[in-house]
Structure 1
Amino acid sequence: MEQPQADRRSTYLAALTLEIQKKLQKALNTPVQRPRLLEVLFADVALEVKDEAREIILNKEEDEITKTEQNLCFYDLLADYYVKAPQAGNSIVDLIVQLWSQYFVSHIFALLFHKWLFEVSVENTEVLLRYGSALVQGSSNIFWIDIQTNRRRFLSLFRFLFEKVAIVPHESNKIALQARRDLYLLLSRFLFFYSLDDMLETFIKHFPAFPNAFLIGGPADVFVIEVTDQLQKLKVEPVVLHYISRMSTLPGLELRMTTSTRLKACLYSFTSPGGPMYPTRAVRHAAWETLDLLFPVGRYPRHVISLFFRLLYPWCWPSSCWNFIKTCIRAFFCYFINKIIASWEKMRRPKAAKSS
């Protein structure tokens, strides 16, 4: 029973490969429709596998595993297929090379060939650098799609680049040095978003050498610089809150004074209402908590200075007063309820002692 299942899967994926090839060829032949065709192809490749296709491609055990781990997308299946049958993807790679300058091409290449790139042997250094650069650029654009929608559809791509490439030296060395550096910078920017900060220490140990290290510092400094730059670009509130909360893993890092000041300034910019960030109340409070955690020295002077600066925003006074009143009422209510529960527990104890 297993062999027919494998044959069905290969036949299905070969048919998908033929469809992708046809769409790329059509995009190559019709310049006017090219951007739209490539965008549709990218969307098709990134689609989740529906139940009908699952029955054809996966057996019951595989289906149960994928459902418990994450949603399975077509690019996951095709990426594995092109590793096992590299000749099947050669025609697609040839067409992609002819369409390098188009926007969605690097996206498609990153999704379909992120595993293939580390399995094939490419002797031409220039070609290897081009492939590596396309992988990094395409992955960056793809991860930004996840951030803007606050979803983790491309988590499997990130996990592969992180767990199978970045922290495995003999794999990361397969791509050109410049592309390798760019890959580590890319992973640094999105590490918190995909919640892999528990492996931060291991990740930093495998950083490649950077030519300007004497200016920017060591791997920990490079990582924090990338995170702070990323945080200042974010506009989706849940993602901003997620990043700020994940920064609790940073206290153990040894940073230069300039990097530490940069991190402090980044967080401090999220603590005040108004431009240029216009953070919400939830973001401001989260930024204060993280700032106080990372930099406990000078905590109270910072809050006093912030209070004075709040006076520059008189339109925020009514909402601030109202939130202060609500906080006091909530605290008093909780205190009152706790007192009632405590007194009730005291009354129960003598009765329980008498009955025993």
Structure 2
Amino acid sequence: MARASATPRSSAYLSALSQEIEKKLQRALASPPQRRNLLQELFADVALEVDDRARDIILSREEDTISPADDSHLGQLCFYDVLADYYVQAPESGKPILDLIVQLWSQSFASHIFSLLFHKWLFEVQLDNPEVLLRYSSALAQGATNVFWIDIQTNTRRFQSLFCYLLDEVAVEPARLNKIPVQAQRDLYLLLSRFILFYNSGDKLDTFLKHCPTFPNAFLIGGPTDFFVTELADQLQKLKVEPVLLHYLSNLKVLQGMELRMATSTRLKTCLYSFTSPGGPMYPTRAVRHAAWDALDLLFPLFDWRSRTLHPVYSAHLQRRSTA
């Protein structure tokens, strides 16, 4: 992936922006009563889409430079996109900010901010201390999870560039992936498994599964597909936003033909079946009920065409579908 070469004008702008971030973090550290609000404001600031004036400065080109816009997703460029690149190119500018975030680790929104600003720095800058690597990797996973859930709750994809970097540039790139501890690699795999369909990356699933790290409990759970489907089933049951749930259900076609252990297959069937009946505990809408049935029909056909018998898991409930 091409990275922007900052011009003197854009570097000066990003340096000034970094100083403002540092000042707000210092205020948060010095004022416990206002800490949460200040960190929330800072998170909102770095997640903002770059306005036209700032875009003109940041994307100003000199000969043989590459615009950061080449890295933006869906035509959207946010401040965290350009700052994440900047802290790789000028790590000394990010160090005071990183030191302050570390002092605020336990505070709400600290991991959000870290994941947005330093997700590239973590994999591009050499870090030799295993304990520090584990701490930063854990913060990245926590922060990324939080911001991806914000996208789900609002049915937006403001943080898609973060997801795509972790998937395309880390999870399937051993040179970067192996920079973080094995446990962090596993956490990243599970994290991406939960959101890969939301961020429309199902076409990359085969490559993603081939780079699955080794799990110590694999003899109990199964292979990469079993871990992936287990995380996906758990994710489905947490979704409360109807358009997002429908999006997931409509994209389950990528699972067609996957070889799963019996326990994993049953888990997915049970999950999908929970969306086919009105009322608790899922309270699915009519659209969700029909989408769940469509997914069941696609992944687990009602008929075994060799014996012409109904699948036992559905035989007692087939009549209910006609009235669902």
> Do Structure 1 and Structure 2 share a fold, with TM-score over 0.5?
yes
Counterpart of 1:236 in structure 2 is: 241
- Conserved? CA contact 2:101–2:110, under 8 Å: yes
- Partner amino acid, structure 1, of 2:253: S
Q: Does 1:59 align with 2:70?
A: no
Q: Does 1:98 align with 2:99?
A: no
Larger radius of gyration, structure 1 or 2? 1
- Conserved? CA contact 2:302–2:314, under 8 Å: no
Over residues 282-324 of structure 1, what are the superposed CA-to-partner deviations in whole Å (9 max), with x where a residue is unaligned?
111111111011011448666663355579xxxxx7xx7xxxx
Counterpart of 1:167 in structure 2 is: 172
Deviation of 1:250 after TM superposition, in Å, equals: 0.5
Unaligned runs of 5+ in 1: 312-316, 321-356
Q: Which among 185, 191, 199 is matched to residue 196 of structure 2?
A: 191
Q: Does 1:252 align with 2:257?
A: yes
Distance 1:296 1:134, change over 3 A: same
Provide the secondary structure at the position in 1 that maps to 2:7. Answer: helix
Give TM-score scaled by structure 1 length.
0.83
Provide the secondary structure at the position in 2 that maps to 1:106. Answer: helix
Distance 1:68 1:120, change over 3 A: closer
- Partner amino acid, structure 2, of 1:124: N
Looking at structure 1, the residues matched to 73 and 249 of structure 2 have their Cα atoms a distance apart, in angstroms, of 28
Percent of paired sites with the same residue: 65
Counterpart of 1:43 in structure 2 is: 44
- Conserved? CA contact 1:35–1:103, under 8 Å: yes
Counterpart of 2:27 in structure 1 is: 26
Alignment size in residue pairs: 310
Deviation of 1:56 after TM superposition, in Å, equals: 1.4
Q: Does 1:305 align with 2:316?
A: yes
Over residues 209-249 of structure 1, what are the superposed CA-to-partner deviations in whole Å (9 max), with x where a residue is unaligned?
00111111111100000000000000000000010111101
Over residues 267-286 of structure 1, what are the superposed CA-to-partner deviations in whole Å (9 max), with x where a residue is unaligned?
11111111111111111111
Looking at structure 1, the residues matched to 69 and 108 of structure 2 have their Cα atoms a distance apart, in angstroms, of 36
Deviates more, 1:118-127 or 1:59-68: 59-68
Deviation of 1:69 after TM superposition, in Å, equals: 3.8
Looking at structure 2, the residues matched to 67 and 210 of structure 1 have their Cα atoms a distance apart, in angstroms, of 33
Provide the secondary structure at the position in 2 that maps to 1:287. Answer: helix
Over residues 243-262 of structure 1, what are the superposed CA-to-partner deviations in whole Å (9 max), with x where a residue is unaligned?
01111010221110110111
Distance 1:65 1:283, change over 3 A: same
Taking only aligned residues, the RMSD between alpha carbons, in angstroms, comes to 2.1
- Conserved? CA contact 1:272–1:306, under 8 Å: no
Q: Which among 102, 119, 126 is matched to residue 131 of structure 2?
A: 126
Deviation of 1:58 after TM superposition, in Å, equals: 1.1
Q: Which among 263, 266, 270 is matched to residue 271 of structure 2?
A: 266
Deviates more, 1:219-228 or 1:168-177: 168-177
Looking at structure 2, the residues matched to 68 and 43 of structure 1 have their Cα atoms a distance apart, in angstroms, of 19
Counterpart of 2:307 in structure 1 is: none
- Partner amino acid, structure 1, of 2:134: L
Looking at structure 1, the residues matched to 320 and 256 of structure 2 have their Cα atoms a distance apart, in angstroms, of 28
Deviation of 1:59 after TM superposition, in Å, equals: 3.3
Highest RCO, 1 vs 2 (Cα 8 Å, sep ≥ 6): 2
Distance 1:280 1:69, change over 3 A: closer
Counterpart of 1:330 in structure 2 is: none
Deviation of 1:98 after TM superposition, in Å, equals: 0.6
- Partner amino acid, structure 1, of 2:220: L
Distance 1:252 1:132, change over 3 A: same
- Conserved? CA contact 1:39–1:104, under 8 Å: yes
- Conserved? CA contact 1:273–1:280, under 8 Å: yes
Q: Which among 136, 141, 145 is matched to residue 140 of structure 1?
A: 145
Unaligned runs of 5+ in 2: 1-5, 305-309
Provide the secondary structure at the position in 2 that maps to 1:115. Answer: helix
Looking at structure 2, the residues matched to 193 and 75 of structure 1 have their Cα atoms a distance apart, in angstroms, of 21
- Conserved? CA contact 1:129–1:176, under 8 Å: yes
Provide the secondary structure at the position in 1 that maps to 2:280. Answer: coil
Over residues 146-200 of structure 1, what are the superposed CA-to-partner deviations in whole Å (9 max), with x where a residue is unaligned?
0000001000000000000000111100011111110100000000000101111
Deviation of 1:67 after TM superposition, in Å, equals: 7.6
Deviation of 1:137 after TM superposition, in Å, equals: 0.4
Runs of 4+ in 1 over 4 A off after TM superposition: 63-68, 299-304, 307-311
Looking at structure 1, the residues matched to 268 and 237 of structure 2 have their Cα atoms a distance apart, in angstroms, of 11
Looking at structure 2, the residues matched to 125 and 213 of structure 1 have their Cα atoms a distance apart, in angstroms, of 25
Deviation of 1:64 after TM superposition, in Å, equals: 7.0
- Conserved? CA contact 1:45–1:73, under 8 Å: yes
Q: Does 1:284 align with 2:285?
A: no
